[in-house]
Amino acid sequence: MNSTVDQLLSNHFPSLAKFPELRDEILAISQIHTFNAGDVILREGQYIKVIPLLVSGLLKVYKEDLNGGEVLLYYIKSGESCVMSITAMMKGVQSSVKGVVEETAEILVVPAEAAISIAKKYPAWNTFMYDLFSAKYDELIHMITTLTFENKDVLVHEYLQNEAKLKGSNTLKITHQKIAKDLGSTREVVSRILKKLEHNGQVSLRQGKIEVLE
């Protein structure tokens, strides 16, 4: 029984699934849920009751600003979990970020208490988390260097390249307004940068659609 979840775990979280006891324990206490694009699965100020293991789809993690703005911090893709949920859970504090489903996501949901007990028993779980922490640190630090040393056109370009890579398509269905919101900028600024990128042959623009050429 439960062979489907078993397979999902083996396919998408091999570093966890290769330890039979750990795998069995996760299978015993987790449930699979599907969320749709636009669903907000984690809100700022919310307490962490579950740890998500993303089997398929794509999430975006945002930090909200006081004045209604928000910045995209990083993505969570298949085979990953939410580092901010982990740390908030371990400390028993509220989430300081927002998690939004970008592409229909199948999520293996592990109850928080179970995750804590697993973390104590299985080094592999911690190793998995360390790797994840590390990857997200690198992303945050890269973002800081881009914000510090580069102009917005680099920020926009890297955003588009990231989107293309994570969505597995160079043709993005996205508006200038959405890009501006993700980057904490304004539509006009993004529009002008996109025109510049198009002029440089880096993208090709159509209404509601951007093709990433390089």
Binding-site ranges for a copy of itself (CB under 8 A):
63, 65, 67, 69, 71, 73, 83-84, 86-88, 90-91, 96-97, 119-120, 123, 126-127, 129-131, 133-134, 136-138, 140-141, 143-145, 147-149, 183-184
Looking at the Cβ atoms of 44 and 153, the one nearer to DNA is 153
Helical pair 152-167 and 187-199, crossing angle rounded to 10 deg? 80
Alpha-carbon Rg for the chain in angstroms: 19
The reply to whether 181 sits near DNA by the rule CB under 7 A is no
Chosen from a copy of itself, DNA, none, partner binding at 205 (C-beta under 5 to 8 Å by type): DNA
Per-position DSSP letters for 10-79, written without gaps between them: HHH-HHHHTSHHHHHHHHHH-EEEEE-TT-EEE-TTPBP-EEEEEEEEEEEEEEE-TTS-EEEEEEEETT
Looking at the Cβ atoms of 134 and 171, the one nearer to a copy of itself is 134
The reply to whether 185 sits near DNA by the rule CB under 7 A is yes
The reply to whether 167 sits near DNA by the rule CB under 7 A is no
| Residue type at position 134 | S
By the 8 A CB rule, do 80 and 18 touch? Answer: no
Contacting residues toward DNA, per CB under 7 A: 151-153, 175-177, 184-189, 191-195, 205-209
